[in-house]
């Protein structure tokens, strides 16, 4: 399938989403919207001045959920909506009404304390202890892990580290736990499948790039060794009511196919780093 406005991901990119669990969409939203959003975010960090690095005293500042126009427009461009249709399926997702959370990372020698490998859990977010939040093999509550670059991110600028193919390892660990799934604490106790051989990719790119990742992809933050603060958002795109990964039956979109492939007998032995 060729890339076009209606189908922004070509056939190779779609296969990469299925096997690697991550695909990069360039110019997913305008850089101008990213600049407008950064102005708002700077205003929400009192005492921190974009022109005065000496005011950047913490390695990370976490900002919440934003509903102003630049954020909602960035989340809902025609290219992104078409890519969601390609990966999840038309009618199976609901638009993002807010953008966040934003871990804003600053050049710093200090440990941010939040750079461990993990997946972003899909449900039970009401639990005060986030280690009790849960995920299941149906990816209930989260059809995609989305990384929106709101600033230019080079290799030194704390790009998120992605373990390619790890969504398949996590799917195999979640499958025996059925509907209830596992807590983040239980997945952490199993080491997030880090014993599997996997290669890594870095979520780099100019402002306006979006990484569309499988929701079970293992990823982590890292220290910032560059010069310019990194602005990244991880909005939650909801499933449409009643929707979740289809393990069998119905049309299998790339989101479903990635899990089905991982659970096929012999898939673990055939896993390639």
CB of 27 vs ligand AKG, minimal distance in Å:
21
Residues that bind ligand AKG (CB under 6 A): 103, 105, 120, 160, 219, 221, 232
Own/partner contacts of 69-72, CB < 8 Å, gap of 24 or more, are: 70/33, 70/34, 70/36, 70/37, 70/40, 71/37, 71/40, 71/98, 71/99, 71/100, 71/233, 72/96, 72/97, 72/98, 72/99
What's the CA gap between 200 and 273, in Å, rounded? 9
CA-to-CA separations, 218 to 159, 188, 213, 215, in angstroms, rounded: 14, 11, 10, 9
Choose between 120 and 243: whose C-beta lies nearer to ligand AKG.
Answer: 120
Give bridge partners of residue 4 from the DSSP assignment.
7
CB of 202 vs ligand AKG, minimal distance in Å:
10
Choose between 136 and 160: whose C-beta lies nearer to ligand AKG.
Answer: 160
Choose between 125 and 178: whose C-beta lies nearer to ligand AKG.
Answer: 125
Choose between 18 and 218: whose C-beta lies nearer to ligand AKG.
Answer: 218
CB of 153 vs ligand AKG, minimal distance in Å:
9
Choose between 81 and 222: whose C-beta lies nearer to ligand AKG.
Answer: 222
CB of 154 vs ligand AKG, minimal distance in Å:
14
As to burial, measured by CB atoms within 10 angstroms (0-12 exposed, 13-18 middle, 19+ buried), residue 242 is exposed
Tell which residue, 161, 272, 260, has the closest CA to residue 218.
Answer: 161
CB of 236 vs ligand AKG, minimal distance in Å:
11
């Amino acid at each position: 399938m060729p890339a076009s406005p209606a189908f922004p991901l070509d056939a190779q990119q779609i296969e990469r989403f299925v096997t690697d669990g991550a695909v990069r969409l360039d110019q997913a939203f305008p850089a101008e919207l990213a600049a407008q959003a950064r102005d708002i975010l700077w205003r929400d960090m009192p005492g921190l001045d974009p022109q005065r690095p000496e005011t950047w005293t913490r390695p990370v500042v976490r900002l919440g959920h934003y509903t102003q126009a630049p954020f909602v427009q960035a989340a809902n461009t025609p290219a992104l909506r078409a890519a969601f249709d390609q990966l999840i399926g038309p009618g199976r997702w609901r638009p993002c009404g807010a953008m966040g959370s934003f871990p804003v990372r600053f050049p710093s020698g200090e440990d941010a304390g939040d750079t461990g490998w993990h997946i972003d859990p899909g449900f039970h977010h009401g639990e005060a202890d986030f280690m009790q939040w849960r995920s299941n093999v149906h990816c209930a509550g989260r059809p995609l892990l989305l990384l929106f670059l709101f600033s230019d991110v080079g290799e030194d600028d704390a790009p998120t580290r992605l373990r390619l193919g790890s969504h398949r390892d996590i799917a195999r660990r979640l499958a025996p736990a059925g509907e209830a799934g596992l807590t983040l604490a239980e997945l952490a106790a199993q080491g997030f499948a880090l014993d599997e051989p996997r290669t890594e990719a870095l979520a780099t790119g100019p402002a306006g790039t979006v990484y569309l990742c499988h929701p079970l992809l293992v990823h982590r933050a890292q220290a910032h060794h560059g010069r310019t603060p990194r602005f990244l958002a991880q909005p939650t795109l909801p499933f449409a009511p009643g929707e979740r990964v289809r393990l069998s039956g119905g049309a299998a979109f790339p989101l479903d196919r990635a899990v089905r492939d991982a659970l096929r007998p012999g898939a673990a032995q055939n896993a390639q780093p």
